[in-house]
Amino acid sequence: MTAYYYPAETFAGDRVIIEDLRIPASIGIYPHEKIQKQTIALDIEMGLAKQACFRSDRVEDTIDYAAVADALRELTASRHFNLIEFLAEQISNVIFDRFGASWTKVRISKIGVIPDARCAAVAITRLNGNSFGTAFSSTSSVAAQNEEPV
C-alpha cells in the first residue's frame, strides 16, 4: 500500500460535487494531440473542511463550484499536459491550495480516444496534508521529488 491509496468509501462527510465538466485541453503524447485540443470530462468531489455554510447560507463558507470550474479551465489552458494522470494530480493541488478542500476525488475522461470505447479515464483520490497530515498528503516527499514543475 502506498501513500496514494485511499478507498473512496473511507471519506464520510459533506462534499461539493461537479459532474461531467467539459473542458478543452491540450493533452496527450501523440503528435496530433500536441497540436489540436480535445475535450476532457471532469468529475470532481471535494470534501468540505468546515460546516459553516449550512448555518450561514454564504458562499464564502463553502467551496464555490463556479470558481473551481473557472480555476480548472485556467489550469488546462496554461500548458500542454502529456498524461491525464499528471493533470489529475495538478487538479487536486489546485483544489487544496485555492479552495481548502479536506480531500478530493478527481476523474478525468478523454472522450472518444479509443475505438469502440466511450473514453479513457483516470481517477485519483487525495487527502489534503493540511487536514490529515503530510504522511497522507498528495505532495509527500517521495512524490514531490518525482514531479515536474508546472
Q: What is the pLDDT of residue 130?
A: 81
Domain limits for position 103:
8-144
Domain containing residue 95: CATH number: 3.30.1130.10
Residue 100 lies in a domain: yes
Q: What is the pLDDT of residue 1?
A: 33
Residue 1 lies in a domain: no
Q: Are strands 15-25 and 119-127 parallel, antiparallel or unpaired?
A: unpaired
Q: What is the pLDDT of residue 140?
A: 37
Residue 101 lies in a domain: yes
Q: What is the pLDDT of residue 36?
A: 94
Digitized pLDDT (tens) for each residue of the chain, 150 residues in all: 334 444 444 566 789 999 999 999 999 999 999 999 999 999 999 999 888 888 999 999 899 999 999 999 999 999 999 999 999 999 999 999 999 999 999 999 999 999 999 999 999 999 998 876 554 444 433 333 344 443
Total domains in the fold of the chain: 1
Cell triple for 127: 487527502
Global pTM reads 0.81
Q: What is d(CA 81, CA 86) in angstroms, rounded to the nearest whole number?
A: 7
Residue 36 lies in a domain: yes
Q: What is the pLDDT of residue 142?
A: 32
Note the Cα 123 to chain centre separation in Å.
9
Q: What is the pLDDT of residue 74?
A: 98
Residue 149 lies in a domain: no
Residue 93 lies in a domain: yes
- Tell me if 124 sits within 8 A of 108, measured CB to CB: no
Residue 84 lies in a domain: yes
Strands (E), 7-146: 15-25, 38-47, 103-111, 119-127
Residue 61 lies in a domain: yes
CA atoms in the 13 A half-sphere facing the CB of 34: 4
